Each structure stands twice: as C-alpha cells, then as structure tokens.
Amino acid sequence: MIYTDNDKRKAVVDIMKDIGIGVSVTQRIGMIKQPRGGYLPPSMFREIYLESEEYLYPIVLEPEELYPEENVFPSLVGTAVEYLGKFMAGVPKEEAFRISIKGARRIGEEENAEQLLKEIQNLDENSVKSALKIATYDTATRGRIREVIPTRAINPDKKTIKNAKIMVKRFLSFLDKYGPMVLSGFNFEGGYSETVDRGDADFSTADTIWDMKVLRGAITTKHTLQLLMYWIMGERSVHPELHNIKHLGIFNPRKNLVYRINTADIPPKTIQQVEKKVIEY
C-alpha cells in the first residue's frame, strides 16, 4: 500500500490525539494540504496602501523608504517591531514582551531579559537595540530552544535600527486609522479543539482580528488560513470581544500595506470545511 502525505499527516494527528497532545495553529497549518488556491485565497483580500499623508500619529516621520538590507534576521525584526509597536501604543512592557520573557525564563536567562526590558523606554536607538535582542527569546517559548541566538551576537546596525523605527511608526499610524487595540496577544480559550489546542493572535480592534506580518513578499494561503482559524475559534472562545468580528486583516509595516476582508464574504462552505477538516471540532 502506498501512503500519501495526507495519510501520513493524519496518522501523526491521530497518534497525538490518542495520547492527549494537540498542536498549535501554525503547526496544524503545516500539517494539512489546502485546496488549490487555499481555503481563503489572498486575492479575496482588499489591499490598502497607507500613504504618508494619511499619517496622524504625532511623531516626526523619517523618510518612508526603507533600507534594502538589514543585519538582523527578518524574523527578529518582525517580532521586535510588533512588540515595540504595542508598547509605544500603550501596552505595558511586561505584556508586550510577555512571550520573550517567558522564553528567557525557560532557558534560564530571565535576568538578562529583564535587564533588556528595562532598557526599552521609547523609540530611541538603545530601546530598538534592546527590543531586537530580547526578541530572540521568542523561539524558546515556541519550542525551538536551539534556535535562540545569544543576545550578545545581535548587533543591529544603523540601517536596521532606522528600518525598525520607521516600521513601528507605520504601525502607530495604522492604529490611528483602524484602532485602537481591544485585545493584544490573546488566546482562544474555549475555542480550541482536541487537535488544535493552542495559538495566540497578535491583536484585535473593535471589529477586526489582525495579524502583523513583516514581509518582503506577498501574503500566502498559510497566512490567510491562520486568520480564518482565529476567527472561527474566536466565535467559540470565552472572549466576548471576538463574538462580533466583521473583518479579518493583516498589516505589513514593511510595505505599509493593509489586507482586509469582510467575514460576510467568506463562503459558509469554506467555514464548514475548516471547522471539520482543519480544526476538527
């Protein structure tokens, strides 16, 4: 008998369920094969470019053009921009960098992480450097301890720091248009299944679940499925703020692009398929 990749993925999930272990949202997405074009094709999202004249946030903006190269891994830049942006938007530091602190604690470097957290005060150069350093601990929280880069090895140059500053300012201006944030770094307690039992979303506003993706390229079907799963789980979760969501959105501060879709435009059949085949309620 020849086993397909889908057979193998299903076997892995069945074994994990038998021993009482679920997977995260992103892990689940990596296990399944989506239909051609994806469950929620990126083409269904409206693209909105936030031009500089629409900026409302009271910070003197630096030139919009980002430097093409950075000397820090893109994943760290993305994480630092998200967390620093939330802090600048009013989220307490301890909450904005919660996952990083948790990861540092897991590998016995909580003291170093706490010191870096103290260094984050504003959007000055030292704060950005510290945010980029502390972001490396996120990988430990997500189970990839061997991928944690020693903070002493993370030395962002001026171009990387300037790019991060510009992207944080774009995020703040984005919030002026679409915010304020209602929930930040929230889970879906009450909305998980035996198969998918964990996964946190970036933030929500009054009527939208948002994901921040600091991408050089376009959004993919993995990104859109992640949002769709968040919405479905949010409807069943203990958070009343997620029971009346009208839109799903992605903000990419690297391109200053918003991708947004009305939940009413998502076919009921698609929702049912994801509920049954992906989340497995």
Asked if residue 211 lies in contact with residue 202, where contact means CB atoms within 8 angstroms, the answer is yes
How far apart, in Å, are the Cα atoms of 211 and each of 46, 69, 206?
15, 24, 14
**pLDDT confidence of residue 212:** 97
Residues in contact with 255: Cβ distance below 8 Å, sequence separation at least 6, in sequence order:
49, 215
- Pairing type for strands 196-198 and 23-24 reads parallel
Residues of the chain below pLDDT 50? 1, 3, 18-19, 53-63
Rounded Cα gap, residues 157 and 129, in angstroms: 9
Burial class (CB in 10 A: 0-12, 13-18, 19+), 135: buried
DSSP state for residue 207 in the 8-state scheme: S
Question: What residues pair up with 251 in beta bridges, in sequence order?
Answer: 212, 258
Asked if residue 237 lies in contact with residue 197, where contact means CB atoms within 8 angstroms, the answer is no
**pLDDT confidence of residue 65:** 84
